[in-house]
Amino acid sequence: MTTDTKPTILRPATEFTSSPLNAQIPAGPLEQKWERHKFEMKLVNPANKRKYTIIMVGSGLAGGAGAATLAELGYNVKCFCYQDSPRRAHSIAAQGGINAAKNYRNDGDSVYRLFYDTIKGGDFRAREANVHRLAEVSLNIIDQCVAQGVPFGREYSGYLDNRSFGGAQVSRTFYARGQTGQQLLLGAYQALERQIQLGGVQMFTRTEMIDLVIIDGRARGIVTRDMVSGKIERHIGDAVVLATGGYGNVFYLSTNAKGCNATAIWRAHRRGAFFGNPCYTQIHPTCIPVSGEHQSKLTLMSESLRNDGRVWVPKQQGDTRPPHQIPEGERDYVLERKYPSFGNLAPRDISSRAAKEVCDEGRGVGPGGLGVYLDFADAIKRLGLHVVKERYGNLFEMYERITGEDGYKTPMRIYPAVHYTMGGLWVDYNLMSTIPGLFVAGEANFSDHGANRLGASALMQGLADGYFILPYTIGDYLARGGIVKADTTHTAFGEVEGEAAQNMRRLLEINGKRTVDSFHRELGKIMWDECGMARNDAGLRRALERIPELRAEFWENVKVPGDFNELNQELEKAGRVADFFELAELMCVDALHRTESCGGHFREESQTEEGEALRDDDNFAYVAAWEFQGLGNKPVLHREALNYESVRLATRSYK
């Protein structure tokens, strides 16, 4: 399925020399790379910054923080979001917390430990330099957010409190009850609104990017559609940043908001940006189980609940007794049994597979047997009901509203669901893609998490990229010059706008018999069944046969009502699902080529005797970066070798 830039003789990944990728990793000791790089980067004179315009697509934590900071520095920023307010970015849905190596608990944490936990949590499939920088910058993030007034949880003394999250044996997660993402986003939002009021940021809400414009080999602008009027508009800048989140909605059912989509990054991929590790998707173990065919999305229950909740199932298959009637001796506390060192705070990929395993054995609970219990009885007995309510009250309220069950009195039922994507557009150390001038931030890039993200690290990455990394690296890019003068009358804008308008009109003219949602749901089921929690050769090949067939049917039989120049949500969805079809195929191609198991990518053919992921470091210790070659043509695979200087490749164990 691939055209490969590597010789057919298998060699260790570190020997590859033919890849055109250059990660731009600075020289020097790991702990000095970022500080040295900041000094060596070129600067833009304060008086010259107002001569440059930066386009920011997305207004969540990465985009909102980036837009506000760049405007504060003096750049002109155009910021775009498809919501009616930046406050509605999906970052708001993050619940449990944000990691930082402050070591306030004096429990052995450090920048290096956060770095190592993240590398290990990602199953040794992330860049050392990027991850260490993330751990360093984490210290600044908390100070920034406290200064903004983010109401982090505090101890009785007034000091900032911490809780534990999966994959760590220290308490480094700062939180605001179960609303951490919302509070952090409000901090970024108020900084953004300040710059909007001052004129540094021009905000475009209810506006969707529909394509990227490249002039003289550099990203110079975007073409957008006003989602209320349908008007297509052109915007030019000196650099473009995509901070548009992940692509989990390719599975249809996920914890992502329904509007979350991959259109911005996928259209950039089609224009030449390489796509890194698309098969790396995260299944979150703590979600409310599917309740029926009518559902259009799933609901996350924060990983923080596993601090005090215990995961268990009946020891006997088919035991349908209510949980309070099952004696302690007949319960299997799965994670505590399998991973005693980490217990219920084992990483997400491992915890998800453990839940799937017991359900596949016929020991699952609830309708259809697709669930495990998350029990707080011991925590309530140990801490008191009032403490549990203080820590997680809004989460219990949400659970009761959705399920009608009181999680304080009866164990919650949870089951894994698609939550996050570690894959994304390939970027170098400066967060620039393979298209000069196109930067990618937050979940939209592949950068920091390898094959599995640890809990509470997404917020850390988004704010690190926006507040503390992009302002340096974009300035360096602009200071190096070479950007020609151009405006929106350039022929490149006309060509891109014409293509975009033609594709939308084509969707409207099909006038078939199936809805967009029906195609999306069917695609999602294929992806969940064949490229979900577990993958195998036969299933991936089935998917790669079925997806192109379904895509062809979509372009012949989809019905998109309404018109082009008006509010038309079906047209919006149709464009996004068309992109999901192409992305889904690349995800399966990537998963098929990577015959090892690592992190969230679990190939059934590559597992230990105990059913754990079995890596193949000799042949797969690399980032897979895919180059688009046109629809219907095989993508080209480029490899970026992952060289580890400070950590030793080891079998990941949480036992």
C-alpha to C-alpha distance for 55 and 201, rounded to whole angstroms: 10
Report the b/e string of 29-43 with b at 16+ CB within 10 A. Answer: ebeebbeebeeebee
Residue 655 counted as domain residue: no
Same domain, 75 and 150: yes
Mean per-residue pLDDT, 455-465: 97
The per-residue pLDDT for 87 is: 95
C-alpha to C-alpha distance for 446 and 85, rounded to whole angstroms: 26
Question: Kind and range of the H or E element at 55?
Answer: strand 53-57
CATH code: domain of residue 263:
3.50.50.60
Q: How confident is the model at residue 19 (pLDDT cuts 50, 70, 90)?
A: low
Token look-up 């940006």 returns: 273
Residue 458 has pLDDT above 90, yes or no: yes
Last residue of a domain, one of 418, 436, 466: 418
Q: How confident is the model at residue 641 (pLDDT cuts 50, 70, 90)?
A: very high
* Residues of the chain above pLDDT 70, percent: 97
Give 464's contacts (C-beta < 8 A, 6+ positions apart).
133, 134, 137, 138, 141
Mean per-residue pLDDT, 546-563: 98
Domain of residue 316 covers 284-418
Our count of domains for the chain comes to 2
Q: What confidence tens digit (pLDDT) does each residue in 242-274 have?
A: 999 999 999 999 999 999 999 999 999 999 999
**What residues act catalytically?**
348
Question: Kind and range of the H or E element at 633?
Answer: none
Residue 3 has pLDDT above 60, yes or no: no
Same domain, 184 and 54: yes
Residue 1 has pLDDT above 50, yes or no: no
Q: What confidence tens digit (pLDDT) does each residue in 265-304 have?
A: 999 999 999 999 999 999 999 999 998 888 999 999 999 9
> 220 near 418, Cβ under 8 Å?
no
Residue 274 counted as domain residue: yes
Mean per-residue pLDDT, 554-565: 96
Residue 10 has pLDDT above 90, yes or no: no
The least confident of 13-17, 179-183, 250-254, 447-451 is 13-17
Greater pLDDT, 10 or 144: 144
The per-residue pLDDT for 291 is: 87
Instruction: Report, in angstroms and rounded to the nearest whole number, the Rg of the chain calculated over CA atoms.
Output: 24
Mean per-residue pLDDT, 534-541: 98
Q: How confident is the model at residue 11 (pLDDT cuts 50, 70, 90)?
A: very low
The per-residue pLDDT for 177 is: 86
| Sign of the alpha-carbon dihedral angle for 195, 199, 202, 205 | positive
Q: What confidence tens digit (pLDDT) does each residue in 63-108 have?
A: 999 999 999 999 999 999 999 999 999 999 999 999 999 999 999 9
Same domain, 153 and 57: yes
Residue 12 has pLDDT above 60, yes or no: no
Q: Which residue intervals of 294-438 are DSSP H helices?
A: 334-338, 348-360, 377-383, 385-403
Tokens representing 550 are 């379904």
Evaluate if pTM is beyond 0.85.
Answer: yes
Q: What confidence tens digit (pLDDT) does each residue in 369-428 have?
A: 999 999 999 999 999 999 999 999 999 999 999 999 999 999 999 999 999 999 999 999
Residue 17 counted as domain residue: no
Same domain, 408 and 426: no
Same domain, 215 and 160: yes
Give 205's contacts (C-beta < 8 A, 6+ positions apart).
81, 83, 84, 85, 86
Residue 444 has pLDDT above 50, yes or no: yes
Same domain, 395 and 433: no
Q: Is 54 exposed, middle or buried (0-12, 13-18, 19+ CB in 10 A)?
A: buried
Same domain, 444 and 307: no
CATH code: domain of residue 315:
3.90.700.10
Residue 628 has pLDDT above 60, yes or no: yes
Same domain, 222 and 343: no
Tokens representing 227 are 């989602």
DSSP-derived 3-state class of residue 342 = coil
Same domain, 292 and 441: no
C-alpha to C-alpha distance for 588 and 581, rounded to whole angstroms: 11
Last residue of a domain, one of 399, 418, 437: 418
Same domain, 551 and 610: yes
Mean pLDDT over the full length of the chain? 95
Strands 636-641 vs 281-287: parallel, antiparallel or unpaired: unpaired
Give 431's contacts (C-beta < 8 A, 6+ positions apart).
439, 440, 441, 445, 447, 465, 469, 470, 473
The per-residue pLDDT for 104 is: 95
Residue 629 has pLDDT above 60, yes or no: yes
Q: What confidence tens digit (pLDDT) does each residue in 321-371 have?
A: 999 999 999 999 999 999 999 999 999 999 999 999 999 999 999 999 999
Greater pLDDT, 295 or 552: 552
CA distances from 186 to 86, 134, 150, 243, 591 (A): 9, 22, 8, 17, 37
| Sign of the alpha-carbon dihedral angle for 574, 576, 577, 579 | positive
Residue 627 counted as domain residue: no
Same domain, 101 and 193: yes
Query: Closest Cα partner for 219 from 432, 77, 61?
Result: 432
Token look-up 């099909």 returns: 510
